[in-house]
Amino acid sequence: MGDTAFEPVRAFAEELDQTDPLAVYRKEFYLKEGVIYLDGNSLGLLSKRAEQTLEEVLDAWREYGIDGWMSGKHPWFTLSEKLGAMTAPLVGAYPEEVVVTGSTTVNLHQLTATFYRPEGKRTKILADALTFPSDIYALQSQVRLHGLDPAEHLIQVDSRDGRTLAEEDIIDAMTEEVALILLPSVLYRSGQLLDMKRLTEEARRRGIVIGFDLCHSIGAIPHQLHDWGVDFAVWCNYKYLNSGPGGPGGLYVHEKHFGRLPGLAGWFGSQKDVQFDMEHRFTPSAAAGAYQIGTPHVLSTAPLIGSLEMFADAGIDRIREKSLRLTRYLMQLVEHELEGMGFSLGNPLEDHRRGGHVCLEHPEAVRICKSLKKHGVVPDFRAPHVIRLAPVALYTSYTEVWEAMQILKQIMKTKDYEKHPKVREVIA
């Protein structure tokens, strides 16, 4: 597990907190007393900076009305591009290659419609069997729009163990029939981090367009999308980037594709200086902004301004370093405190293969999650037997991780989970 320094006592966790260079950011978030929040890989917590920038945009609406599009501290007309530039260091891209817009699935539809061009032998999309369902729904839809059958033209690489993917299996599936590849950067259940650099190199060698869904990696790990040669990527901003529930997503397109006509054209993808000419001839932006479709959701976007300012201050490399140490410490506690209680780790143990959360498996996972919530620990359940625990670098302390494991240990000893029905909630 990399750094093996470990002592199974609270004092060790407190010492880690005292020497943590990112501990100062905890005070920037609204942390509920008596609650240990370990679900930041589903929805990140509200920060005071995000709240402030939302209020600033509301003030601009109050002060300027329609003129807020071009006036105030954060003019709305160019806000999506500004935030794209602020996001670019987190994904290893040039500022003009990134824009904040749409949602993960809308952006996936946009970029698949742009880059999926079945022709001759190359008619198939390559994905995987463990990816988030929404991505598969979108890909199936795009295949059907070309008059093709997803059962034949959408390939999903199987997992050998039901948890992880072997890069070799994905590469073997990159045949001359594949026109486009879409893969997750981090698997949403097991937390496996794929080798994006290697997979992109193999796709490029075969002349296949490749894109990634970064929902479970952006804000938790560094990327080098431009240097790796990744063609496109999509993501949400409300998990590790703490932009708020339903906040707009983001997309990246490599500069080598600039000038390509978007598959789904909309007026906010226009070149800015001619957008209000109202011509019926679309003049797309010369950068990633071309892939915007409709008017930006300004109020939903506003919290991301403050959040990204904090990420710029903290630095994604330091965030990744602490994230790895937090998850490693959590796994060490699982092995020490929960031995013989039926738990197993479903995520890769190696640092270079692990994203930002721990996948804890147990036959009673759904009931254990209910019991954890009752005792002030917020986890995340994924059917059929996964407890996802995501200690987030900017606001989770090592002491909280230690406390959460003590609570879980007590729940198992007393069998408190047996008080709860073995049925998941509507939202898991």
Mean local confidence (pLDDT), 370-389 = 97
Q: How far apart are CA 341 and CA 416, in angstroms?
A: 13
Question: Looking at residue 41, what is its pLDDT?
Answer: 97
Mean model confidence pLDDT for the chain: 97
Mean local confidence (pLDDT), 1-11 = 80
Mean local confidence (pLDDT), 133-143 = 98
Question: Looking at residue 423, what is its pLDDT?
Answer: 85
Close Cβ partners of 245 (under 8 Å, ≥ 6 residues apart): 43, 238
What percent of the chain clears pLDDT 70, i.e. is strictly above it? 99
Smallest CA-to-CA distance from 243 within 311, 183, 313 is with: 311
What percent of the chain clears pLDDT 90, i.e. is strictly above it? 97
> What ranges do the domains of the chain cover?
10-30+315-419, 51-313
Close Cβ partners of 305 (under 8 Å, ≥ 6 residues apart): 50, 53, 56, 57, 74, 79, 83, 86
Mean local confidence (pLDDT), 102-120 = 98
Question: Looking at residue 427, what is its pLDDT?
Answer: 74
Q: What is the pLDDT of residues 165-181, one digit of tens each?
A: 999 999 999 999 999 99
Domain topology for 51-313: Aspartate Aminotransferase; domain 2 (3.40.640)
Q: Which residues of 118-137 are buried (b: 16+ CB within 10 A; e: fewer)?
A: beeebbbbbbbebbbeebbe
Question: Looking at residue 1, what is its pLDDT?
Answer: 46
CATH annotation of 10-30+315-419 = 3.90.1150.10
Q: What is the pLDDT of residues 254-295, one digit of tens each?
A: 999 999 999 999 999 999 999 999 999 999 999 999 999 999
Q: How far apart are CA 16 and CA 326, in angstroms?
A: 10
Question: pLDDT grade, residue 425 (50/70/90)?
Answer: confident
Close Cβ partners of 193 (under 8 Å, ≥ 6 residues apart): 185, 186, 217, 221, 348, 352, 353, 354, 355
Active site residues: 132, 213, 238-239, 388
Binding annotation for pyridoxal 5'-phosphate: 104-105, 132-135, 213, 216, 238, 267, 295
Mean local confidence (pLDDT), 115-126 = 98
Binding annotation: 104-105, 132-135, 213, 216, 238, 267, 295
